[in-house]
Structure 1
Amino acid sequence: MARADVAARALLEKFSVVKPPIDPYWLAGQLGATVVPQELAQDVSGMLLRNDGQQVIGVNEAHAKNRRKFTVGHELGHLLLHRGRPLILDTDLRINYRDNISGMATDREEVEANRFAAALLAPEEMVRVSATKTSALSADQLVDVLAHEFEISVQAMSFRLMNLGIISGAGR
């Protein structure tokens, strides 16, 4: 099991989260991080600022609810798994952005943060249990039902189900 999966599972266990939907905003608060919706460029989903023991997750207030939820999960991945990258400003801050580059998942840390968010918001065991309980007749129906149950986007659930080997691909 990958480090991101282990970390997501450990976080859920630490705070006794046992059923969907997962609330990454609540988890951020439990970790001492403040989530701040803010106006960001359209291609920036969010960012993580760490300074003097304080953590702030900025999330693009213009993005859809489920995208913001994934972004918070992604930034929690950075918070727990990565030291952060330096940004030269007037102060000694470290910052991580979630943007179009991270969305393409070409950087190792971005891939890992995306994997963490997926494992956090749609934990494998919960997804498998829910998948066996549904009466969906097709892969598309399964994706729709589980996306609704876990309160994540259809696209995120489709990728999660494919990555878990539950479906081979949605027909969308």
Structure 2
Amino acid sequence: MKSIFIIKYISEIEYNFIIIKERTIPIMSRTASYWDRVESEANDFAARLLMPENFILSEGNKVIEKFKKIYNQDLIPQDYFISEMAQIFNVSVQAMTYRLKNLDII
């Protein structure tokens, strides 16, 4: 069995993503010729698990509506939206950006 060593100074956000990703790699296709492909597939799996599309859409609408009420503006800044969504899902801004791009939301 593979051991995963995690530096104790990482955040809970990073910890969740790393654990899911690293536990996924051994069950991914072993025929992949490049580790970057396996790494990419593991990242995608972790993103889908931690940030399901249906929750992204429903929470995203809530963030937009809340912004409209608070700031009385229709257009929400992308950085604000990503940051709010990352906090809701307890993931890094980088992970949320990846997921939102993958879903063609940003």
TM over 0.5: yes
Q: Displacement of 1:123 after TM fit? A: 1.2
- 3-state SS, counterpart of residue 166 of structure 1: coil
Q: Displacement of 1:65 after TM fit? A: 2.3
- 3-state SS, counterpart of residue 73 of structure 1: helix
Paired position in structure 1 for 2:101: 162
Q: Displacement of 1:142 after TM fit? A: 1.1
For residues 25-49 of structure 1, the C-alpha deviation after alignment (integer angstroms, 9 at most, x for no partner) is: xxxxxxxxxxxxxxxxxxxxxxxxx
Paired position in structure 1 for 2:7: 60
Alpha-carbon distance in structure 1 between the residues aligned to 2:62 and 2:56: 10
Amino acid at match of 1:70: F
Alpha-carbon distance in structure 1 between the residues aligned to 2:102 and 2:39: 17
Q: Aligned residues, how many?
A: 93
Q: Displacement of 1:127 after TM fit? A: 0.7
Contact 1:60 1:68 in 2 (8 A): no
Q: Are 1:72 and 2:1 an aligned pair?
A: no
Q: Are 1:138 and 2:77 an aligned pair?
A: yes
Contact 1:61 1:68 in 2 (8 A): no
Q: Displacement of 1:106 after TM fit? A: 6.1
TM-score for the superposition, normalised by structure 2? 0.74
Q: Structure 2: which 5+ runs fail to align?
A: 68-75
Q: Displacement of 1:71 after TM fit? A: 0.3
Match of 2:57 among 128, 153, 159: 128
Amino acid at match of 1:115: D
Query: Larger helix proportion, structure 1 or 2?
Result: 2
TM-score for the superposition, normalised by structure 1? 0.48
Q: Percent identity?
A: 34
Alpha-carbon distance in structure 2 between the residues aligned to 1:76 and 1:111: 14
Contact 1:122 1:160 in 2 (8 A): yes
Query: Larger strand proportion, structure 1 or 2?
Result: 1
Q: Are 1:149 and 2:88 an aligned pair?
A: yes
Paired position in structure 2 for 1:19: none
CA RMSD of aligned residues (A): 2.2
